[in-house]
Amino acid sequence: MNAQIRRAAEILRAGGLVAFPTETVYGLGADASNASAVARLYAAKRRPADHPVIVHFAAAEEAFSFAREIPKTAEALAARFWPGPLTLILKRSAQAKDFITGGQDTVGLRVPSHPVAQALLREFAGGVAAPSANVFGRLSATSTAHVKEEFPSGVDLILEAGPSEVGIESTILDLSSAEIALLRPGKISKRELEEVLETKIKSKRASSPRHSGGLERHYAPKTPALLVPPHALDAEIAKRKAPVAVLAFSRPDERVDYWIRMPREPRAYAQRLYGALRELDGAGCETILIEAPPETSEWDAIRDRLQRATG
């Protein structure tokens, strides 16, 4: 692995693209200080240029060099949750260039905990711009196989590892203005953040395209997907003539050929979510019916992704 890590870091230095595992989802990385490398990254993802990327670092001190104001709140959160699945939005420093911030005055920073990501970032010793390793708008990749499916070509190296442990993207918290806002829920919950901050946080599902996670239809399968309350699932299946695929908590129904039964525990559900949606997407059905999860806060991040997947 060491030789692979060194090769990956060399590719990044030369302006290439390296896909690598993180604890949340796989990322597609490029040198965050290299404009043409980042341009290649956007082209590979077919991502609009005004959508900012998250920059990844091995440690908090390095990450904060990309911010010009580091509030106490950022330091406290970094001390508690980094390395880990949390992205902080801060006012950018001169090191965070326009081509990674989408021209905004803020930058997204993250220190991932996955040992392979850590090894790569330490070896590279700089910021790695890394959106999720999927074509823009599509389901994030949570396995090496998914990355290959998304990018049959155009990536210089894929650092292979097992399935992503968390399965959904990092929690994004905006600390760049007086009003702290949760831009994307994730494994690290609002309550956990509030405990450290000792203050309430606003949930802001911004509809503005300033951050792509805020787009209505995102993290989506190609097959139209529909979120269905548990009590309506049976009727939804019954009324459809064309084949449907179902993602549900309950046991498979024999009228349905493609059915994936999901765990009732939110962390296990998150881990399986994108793989399961990809599998059902490949079934060639007319619709994917998704049984809605409970309305409780521990399901917030999953509900968010399912709402986006169903547009």
How many residues bind Mg ion, per CB under 5 A?
1
Q: Which is nearer to Mg ion, 12 or 141 (CB)?
A: 141
Query: Using the rule CB under 5 A, is 164 a contact of Mg ion?
Result: no
Query: Using the rule CB under 6 A, is 170 a contact of ligand TXA?
Result: yes
- Selection from ligand TXA, Mg ion, none that 23 binds (CB < 5 to 8 A by kind) is none
HSE toward the beta carbon, residue 109, CA cutoff 13 A: 35
249 Cβ contact partners less than 8 Å away, ≥ 6 residues apart? 230, 261, 262, 264, 291, 293
- What secondary structure letter does DSSP report for 238? H
CB 225 to ligand TXA: min, Å: 19
Q: Are 156 and 29 in contact (CB under 8 A)?
A: no
Of 132, 164, 171, 271, the one binding Mg ion (CB under 5 A) is 132
- Selection from ligand TXA, Mg ion, none that 171 binds (CB < 5 to 8 A by kind) is none
Of 73, 104, 118, 144, the one binding ligand TXA (CB under 6 A) is 104
| CA separation for the pair 88, 172 (Å, rounded) | 6
Query: Using the rule CB under 6 A, is 109 a contact of ligand TXA?
Result: no
Query: Using the rule CB under 6 A, is 25 a contact of ligand TXA?
Result: yes
Structure-token match 């650092």, residue found: 159
Find, among 41, 30, 36, the residue nearest to 8 by Cα.
Answer: 30
Query: Using the rule CB under 6 A, is 17 a contact of ligand TXA?
Result: no
Both tokens of 249, joined, read: 């908590």
Q: Is 172 helix (H, G, I), strand (E, B) or coil?
A: strand
| CA separation for the pair 191, 139 (Å, rounded) | 26
Residue of minimal Cβ distance to Mg ion = 132
Which residues make up the interface to ligand TXA (CB under 6 A)?
Answer: 22, 24-25, 27, 51-54, 87, 89, 101, 104, 106-108, 110, 112, 130-132, 169-170, 172, 183, 210-213
